[in-house]
């Protein structure tokens, strides 16, 4: 075990890193360093690390599915989001080598693009025209809401009072159930059936905000992640069991 750990700590790449290699090496290192016995524990750990490293969510299910494709010897291309690949490289301590997917990039034939997609482009232009007609009608009949400190509030559509990116389509569930809170050790993090009661995401200041429902962060627009025991112990209640 110590020999394998030393190998992972000192390994440095010299050429191009494929996404497949990054994922395999990250899995091996996480297993050895943390003593994980299941893929679920490894993927949760790596998902949390990516979130902490770059501020972007990358689900554990995605990591687990891609890892399963590798170990089942499928000849599929393993392609991670670029920010996830770079975070895994940081986790492994690899040098700033070029990260590539394990296939050759295909160059589009721009010269024939418009010819081959003529009907699709015409359809898109038609949809745009229809939207330009319907949007003014929708604005006058649609209900709207804005984020107000720690909850959503219904408002009138008023671009003089609010920025366009502040105004969102009215959602009754968001009005009733979506609230930002400051959790502590007394917070009920999970329901009796084990489902999450709390979601989290980083704000523009790179600090964590916690919410009572799933959805998008009101300020960044990024998908919130369900709370985990790892995040509870690290950021909310170190003595949580």
Mean pLDDT (the chain, rounded) = 82
Is 114 a member of any domain?
A: yes
Residues 35 and 85 in one domain: yes
When pLDDT is averaged across residues 116-134 and rounded to a whole number, the result is 77
Cα 77 to Cα 1, 92, 105, 183, 200: the distances in Å are 31, 21, 12, 41, 31
What pLDDT does 79 receive? 84
Residues 40 and 59 in one domain: yes
Is 20 a member of any domain?
A: yes
Is 47 or 178 the better-scoring residue by pLDDT? Answer: 178
Is 241 a member of any domain?
A: no
Residues 63 and 126 in one domain: no
Residues 154 and 191 in one domain: yes
Residues 6 or more apart whose CB falls under 8 angstroms from that of 19 comprise: 78, 79, 80, 85, 99, 100, 101, 102
Residues 155 and 224 in one domain: yes
- Indicate the number of domains in the chain: 3
Residue 178 predicted with pLDDT over 90: yes
Residues 153 and 232 in one domain: yes
- Name the percent of the chain in helix, strand, coil, to the closest 5: 45, 15, 40
Tell me which residue range forms the domain holding 174: 143-236
72-113 pLDDT, tens digit per residue, is: 876 667 888 888 888 888 888 887 766 766 654 334 444 456
């Amino acid at each position: 075990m110590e020999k394998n750990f030393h190998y992972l700590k000192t390994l440095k790449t010299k050429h191009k890193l494929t996404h497949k290699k990054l994922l395999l090496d990250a899995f091996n290192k996480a297993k050895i360093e943390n003593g994980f016995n299941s893929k679920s524990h490894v993927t949760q750990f790596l998902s949390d690390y990516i979130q902490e490293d770059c501020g972007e969510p990358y689900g554990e299910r995605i990591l687990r599915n891609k890892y399963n494709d590798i170990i089942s010897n499928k000849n599929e291309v393993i392609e991670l989001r670029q920010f996830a690949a770079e975070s895994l490289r940081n986790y492994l301590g690899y040098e700033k080598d070029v990260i590539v997917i394990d296939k050759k990039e295909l160059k589009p034939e721009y010269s024939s693009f418009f010819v081959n997609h003529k009907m699709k482009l015409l359809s898109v232009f038609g949809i745009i025209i229809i939207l330009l007609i319907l949007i003014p009608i929708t604005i006058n009949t649609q209900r709207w809401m804005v984020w107000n400190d720690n909850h959503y509030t219904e408002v009138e559509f008023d671009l003089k009072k609010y920025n366009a990116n502040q105004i969102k389509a009215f959602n009754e569930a968001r009005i009733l159930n979506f609230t930002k809170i400051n959790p502590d050790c007394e917070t009920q993090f999970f329901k009796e059936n084990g489902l999450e009661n709390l979601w989290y995401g980083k704000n523009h200041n790179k600090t964590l905000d916690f919410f009572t429902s799933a959805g998008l962060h009101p300020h960044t627009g990024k998908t919130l992640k369900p709370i985990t025991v790892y995040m509870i112990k690290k950021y909310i209640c170190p003595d949580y069991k």
